[in-house]
Amino acid sequence: MVSIAFGGFVISPALAWLAIGVALMAAEVLAPGFIVFWFGVGALAASLAVFLGLHSVYGELLIFLGVSIGSLLLWHLVLRKRLPGSGRSDERDATISELRGRITARVAPDAEGRVELHTPFHGIRGWKARSNQELEPGAEIEVVDAKGIALIVKRSGS
């Protein structure tokens, strides 16, 4: 079994794949789309394969990529559609209808900016913002919708 030297420490490939898998799964919190998580699953599968006796770097990479891409496709093409409430809805989130705030970083149709809400949305006051209007810092806004991790805003009263 080949060991990996990392910062003066020597770790087994199984432990390295395990650490990579956990790190990728944790990174999903920062990346929208539920994609990075599945590469974490692939790394955990590679870790298990090495633990069970696989000693080929190419085999490890094949398992990592195969399980990652396979689980990603399985999730997005089959499993996600079977979950209750996972269908697309034309209705917007009812909790955003009364949200107001002010622009903290310029927002324009071609530039994402930032907004600070007067009342937190999901416990957070500062959000990325998009708009089809030019909005300068200090402008009062109201939230129209949410797309991914950004709020869609417009000038208050318009």
Would you state the pLDDT for residue 128?
92
The one-letter amino acid code at 124 reads I
Mapping DSSP onto H, E and C, the string for the chain reads CCCEEECCEEECHHHHHHHHHHHHHHHCCCCCCCCHHHHHHHHHHHHHHHHCCCCCHHHHHHHHHHHHHHHHHHHHHHHHHHCCCCCCCCCCCHHHCCCEEEEEECEECCECEEEEEEEEECCEEEEEEECCCCECCCCEEEEEEEECCEEEEEECCC
Would you state the pLDDT for residue 85?
56
Tell me which of 18 and 5 has the higher pLDDT: 18
Would you state the pLDDT for residue 93?
59
In our burial notation (b when 16+ CB lie closer than 10 A, e otherwise), range 109-145 reads: eeeebbbbbeeebeeeeebebbbeeebeeebebbbbe
- Closest alpha carbon to 21 in 3, 47, 60, 2: 47
Strand 124-130, strand 113-121: pairing: antiparallel
Does domain 94-155 fall into CATH 1.10.1740.10?
no
Average pLDDT for the chain? 86
pLDDT tens digits for range 74-132: 988 888 777 765 544 444 556 676 789 999 999 999 889 999 999 887 778 899 999 99
Residues of the chain with CATH 2.40.50.140: 94-155
Task: Report the share of the chain in percent with pLDDT over 70.
Answer: 89
Q: Which residues contact 80 (CB under 8 A, 6 or more apart)?
A: 86
pLDDT tens digits for range 138-151: 999 999 888 888 89
Task: Please state the rounded mean pLDDT for residues 44-56.
Answer: 94
For the chain, the first-to-last Cα distance in angstroms comes to: 66
